[in-house]
Structure 1
Amino acid sequence: MPELSAAAGGPDVLLPPGSAAQREALEAARRLLGPQRVRLAGAEQDPGRLLGPNASLFRSRRVAAVLRPSGAEQVPALVELFSRSTESGGLHVISTGRNWGLGSREPAQDDVVVLDLGDLDRVRELDVDAGWAVVEPGVTQGHLSRLLAHTPRMANVTVSAAATSILGNALDRGVALRGQRTEDLVGLEVVLPGGESVTVGWWPSGERTAPVYPHGLGPSTLPLFVQSNLAVVTAAAIRLPARPEALRVVRLSFPPAALAEATDAVRRLVAQGLTRGVPRIFDAAAGRAYGGAEDEYLVHLPVDGTAESVEALTKILTAEAHRARVFTAISDSDATDTATPHHEVARLVERGYAGDPDLADTVFRTKMGVGADQVDSEAGFAFFLPLIPFSGKAVARASRLLDDVVAATGVRLSATLHLLSGDLIDCVVAMKFPRHGEAAARAHRALDLLHGSFAEAGFPPYRLDIDHADRRDATACDPGALALTRRLKAVLDPNGALAPGRYR
């Protein structure tokens, strides 16, 4: 049976095999969107044809169709169509589809319909005085940052590609340079499985002058829709941080043997409020893209504020770093000293902390080896994302666990520590591998081993790839809490229409 293309669309178009309820919903979706916005799977085609390859080489799921609405106003009717019956197969929602390392566009289960919200790319409202914007799922960090250029506000950007979705990353609890993006969310426009559209949290309306405050009165429902399969999010109100008047990043280096001692020294600086945003520690492999010294860890400590406060805090940070007697290099001028070999990358890092993403993806290309449009087709790449306590002892243990996996599998790993507070670290473990031979199988085995050993150590993941979606049960601290979320799912989505298997 042929795929429905933009050139097709007559009444005799054949729908893919599946349940009668799914075929009925797809035919109604085709009438609603127009044939050019519905792509159907053929009867015997490669299951990955509709979505294309994924960088992690996870198994391509069977996908019945891809629906790409042109506007948010079409989404409620689509959601209602696929929530009528348990036989409809369910909807897997993507924004720009660049969830690299965790599955890209792939759903967790087979035989679903992908709802691609990439064309919902409007910045609906922007208030630089009050510090908020309303963005749709297809709005990228490059798009928003360009709108905010030369204003007193900035976007909280990641070090990923400029063409990645702000909202998609925030809803999966991604971490950016100013903090975890979930904390940027102040309101959501959500479509419930029955097709009802509601806003939760804070939302602009008319001449509303209420201050931006996401919790409201009574129970706060906004968090229900983060890392959630309870609704489809079609827009979000997000905070826009104030742009600092001045910013500098202090760079430190230390040898692997000093990992525990150096971590505790950095923790003291973070806990005492001497650094802002999200400081980072890179192992030697991860730090290479940032000009780190061979076989040494690299630390980025951002400082911002007024010019005078930045100057004072920088002096304090460098003095404390010298006093610790554990760092082999201490510098606060790499971004301004053009004679420094890694001047350009240091300048890009400081711009990122100030809300200006690297629109040319210079550092991203260095890390990935390809541009954003080639990652899924040419790169081999997977992520493991655990949380660990911010202590030298815990970080050293996590490093030993990584070494054990390298020894067992031969997979090349790199680790970046995002210092979220004086007590908490988001550890980003990246593995790059060739796309041929047994390399992908070894990487997937490494993922399995990492999930097992880190869970045993008490270091749970905070995001999951599609092949480990069931790990939520294994890492839950209370089975009763899981049961509560499943009761909510049964009430709001009794037919399991949304994101089957994702964070189940």
Structure 2
Amino acid sequence: MSVELNDADESFITGLRDILPAAAFLEASDTFLTEPRGRYKGKGVVVAPDTTEQVAALVKACYDARVGIVPHGGGTGLVGAQVLTEGRIPVILSLSRMTKVREIYPEEGVMIADAGAVLADLQQAARDAGKMFALSLGSEGTARIGGLLSTNAGGLNVLRYGTARAQCLGLEVVTPEGEIWHGLTRLHKDNTGYDLRDIFIGAEGTLGVITGAALKLATIPAVEATALLAVESPAAALSLLSLSRDIVGEGVSGFELMSRVGFEFLMETGLLQASPLQPLPDWQVLLRIGLPAGADVEAVLEHIFTAASERGLVYDGLIATTLAEAERLWTIRETIPEGNRLIGSVASHDISLPLSRIPDFIPEAARRIHDVAPLRINCFGHLGDGNLHYNAFPRAGENRAIYEGIRSQISRIVHDLAVEMGGSFSAEHGVGRLKVGDVERYSDPVRLNMMRRIKAVLDPNGIMNPGAMLR
């Protein structure tokens, strides 16, 4: 969608100062101008309203002046949606001053919060009310709920509780024309027309600005336990998942697949001294179950281990006997992306596949990549929902810069194969600016056309996150 925009120049900012308080204008520091992988350096004027009405006034001014807006949550996204590198100077609309938990209804299992609330703070607020907000991911100490909804984030608990979309009842949104949609419903059933909530969730700020959310709260499992299990292969891991569900049903709340390479990276970078399981397995599964009061959760895990061992699925493992030990195991899993960052990837991929195709995809993708270059592959992810992080790295002692010329070729190999096997090139990190070309390459033409028509109708001046998701 090509629309001529204008710069957020000095004259425009002077006009904003007449309608917004001085505290709303922040320094355009690297916090707002860079993204975690360092591949994008953005530009813009940072404005941080602290009420929905101020957001609406800001957006209305941008709409009238045809100035682009880049919504900015915690800045933790990995596809460049939070930075604008080309074109006119935009307003970077930061939600960092809108952090309130507005209301909690424990009996209803609902919490209403500002879009700038940090995920970890929402989790704590839910715990203080005797409930659980189940969305959980490695960046929860900085990621903000508006951004997480805008990317439909997943994380570690999708298997049991679903993505961010599944944990949201309603939204408050400022439209591109500066109107406020008051959609903070607490209803679990409401079939009165189009579900506008689902239009904005996952839209990456291209259709409007989420300013508030009504979130579902879950019951805290009375007892939980974690086990780290060595499996023979990804195929064995899938069979283990099926077996675990047969035994405890929806009690399986976490099921993470981790490769040997991921642990080697953690030890290579000093983030882990030694693997909990020795010798280091080629493949491991981190399993968490949560059960009602009265259940002997450790006995259940032992039963799963015994049954899996008898079927040749598992050959080693340990059960965390304390909360601290369980947290240590989950910290290892959550630290894998940091190990990847320190090693420096040639190409990183966030893909999803039908579960039954995963055992075929992993070796075939490696074979195709190794035909191009002798790269190391770190494959890990949320096996229960088919989401893999399939990343390629230089050999030990090499700098990734020497492979820069084949980075796009490696990504094409991975994405082509994922789509060929019925999967997606974007599982939970979104499209941003990094994958706009992939949207055009892989999307069904009818779907792509409908997306463009929705964008044109809701954002006729093209001011919302220009260049992200669609072009």
TM range (shorter): 0.7 to 0.9
CA contact (8 A) 2:81 2:431 kept: no
CA contact (8 A) 1:187 1:214 kept: no
Q: Give the structure-2-normalised TM-score.
A: 0.81
Measure, in 2, the Cα distance between the counterparts of 1:201 and 1:234. Answer: 10
1:192 aligns with 2:175: yes
**More off after superposition, 166-175 vs 142-151:** 142-151
User: How do 1:305-384 residues align onto structure 2 when only pairs under 5 Å count?
Assistant: 305-311=291-297, 313-331=300-318, 333-336=319-322, 344=324, 346-348=326-328, 364=334, 367-368=337-338, 380=344, 383-384=348-349
User: How do 1:58-207 residues align onto structure 2 when only pairs under 5 Å count?
Assistant: 58-61=39-42, 63-85=43-65, 88-99=66-77, 101-103=78-80, 105-107=82-84, 109-111=86-88, 112-149=90-127, 151-156=129-134, 157-179=136-158, 180-200=163-183, 202-203=185-186
2:372 is matched with 408
2:436 is matched with 469
Distance change (3 Å), C-alpha of 1:400 and 1:275: farther
Structure 1 residue matching 2:434: 3-state secondary structure: helix
Q: Deviations over 1:237-275 (max 9, x none)?
A: 1111111110112332124xx332442343343467264
1:224 aligns with 2:187: no
Q: CA deviation at 1:64?
A: 3.5
Letter of the structure 2 residue corresponding to residue 455 of structure 1: V
Measure, in 2, the Cα distance between the counterparts of 1:402 and 1:414. Answer: 10
**More off after superposition, 233-242 vs 303-312:** 303-312
Measure, in 2, the Cα distance between the counterparts of 1:295 and 1:432. Answer: 20
1:244 aligns with 2:227: no
CA contact (8 A) 2:348 2:390 kept: yes
Q: Deviations over 1:203-258 (max 9, x none)?
A: 4xxxxxxxx41644332221000121211100111111111110112332124xx3
Distance change (3 Å), C-alpha of 1:365 and 1:269: closer
Q: Deviations over 1:52-87 (max 9, x none)?
A: 4433232424x23222223332100111111225xx
Q: Deviations over 1:119-142 (max 9, x none)?
A: 211111122222111122321122
Measure, in 1, the Cα distance between the counterparts of 2:40 and 2:49. Answer: 26
Letter of the structure 1 residue corresponding to residue 358 of structure 2: A
CA contact (8 A) 2:368 2:413 kept: no
Measure, in 1, the Cα distance between the counterparts of 2:386 and 2:71. Answer: 29
Q: Deviations over 1:160-204 (max 9, x none)?
A: 35222233223312113332222101110000111110123624x
Distance change (3 Å), C-alpha of 1:184 and 1:394: same
Distance change (3 Å), C-alpha of 1:73 and 1:412: farther
Identical counterparts, % of pairs: 19
CA contact (8 A) 1:96 1:137 kept: no
Distance change (3 Å), C-alpha of 1:399 and 1:141: farther
1:298 is matched with 284
1:495 aligns with 2:465: no
Measure, in 1, the Cα distance between the counterparts of 2:100 and 2:392. Answer: 34
Letter of the structure 2 residue corresponding to residue 266 of structure 1: L
Measure, in 1, the Cα distance between the counterparts of 2:334 and 2:234. Answer: 26
Structure 2 residue matching 1:66: 3-state secondary structure: strand
**More off after superposition, 433-442 vs 113-122:** 433-442
1:28 aligns with 2:15: yes
Structure 1: gaps (5+ residues) = 1-17, 42-47, 204-211, 337-342, 351-357
Q: CA deviation at 1:485?
A: 2.7
Measure, in 1, the Cα distance between the counterparts of 2:209 and 2:374. Answer: 40
Measure, in 2, the Cα distance between the counterparts of 1:456 and 1:483. Answer: 22
Measure, in 2, the Cα distance between the counterparts of 1:291 and 1:83. Answer: 55
Q: CA deviation at 1:388?
A: 0.4
Structure 2 residue matching 1:199: 3-state secondary structure: strand
CA contact (8 A) 1:380 1:440 kept: no
Q: Deviations over 1:134-167 (max 9, x none)?
A: 1223211221233234543112222335222233
Measure, in 2, the Cα distance between the counterparts of 1:318 and 1:147. Answer: 35
Q: How many residues align structurally?
A: 439
Q: CA deviation at 1:310?
A: 4.7
1:206 is matched with none
Q: Give the structure-1-normalised TM-score.
A: 0.76
Structure 1 residue matching 2:49: 3-state secondary structure: coil
Measure, in 2, the Cα distance between the counterparts of 1:317 and 1:217. Answer: 45
Q: CA deviation at 1:29?
A: 2.1
Measure, in 2, the Cα distance between the counterparts of 1:159 and 1:51. Answer: 20
Q: Deviations over 1:339-365 (max 9, x none)?
A: xxxx95533457xxxxxxx7xxx8655
User: How do 1:277-292 residues align onto structure 2 when only pairs under 5 Å count?
Assistant: 277-286=253-262, 291=276
CA contact (8 A) 2:361 2:417 kept: no
1:54 is matched with 35
CA contact (8 A) 1:121 1:139 kept: yes
Letter of the structure 2 residue corresponding to residue 320 of structure 1: A
Structure 1 residue matching 2:422: 3-state secondary structure: coil
User: How do 1:203-218 residues align onto structure 2 when only pairs under 5 Å count?
Assistant: 203=186, 212-213=187-188, 215-218=190-193
Measure, in 1, the Cα distance between the counterparts of 2:333 and 2:295. Answer: 29
Measure, in 1, the Cα distance between the counterparts of 2:363 and 2:190. Answer: 38
Distance change (3 Å), C-alpha of 1:409 and 1:23: farther
Q: For the aligned residues, what is the CA RMSD?
A: 3.4
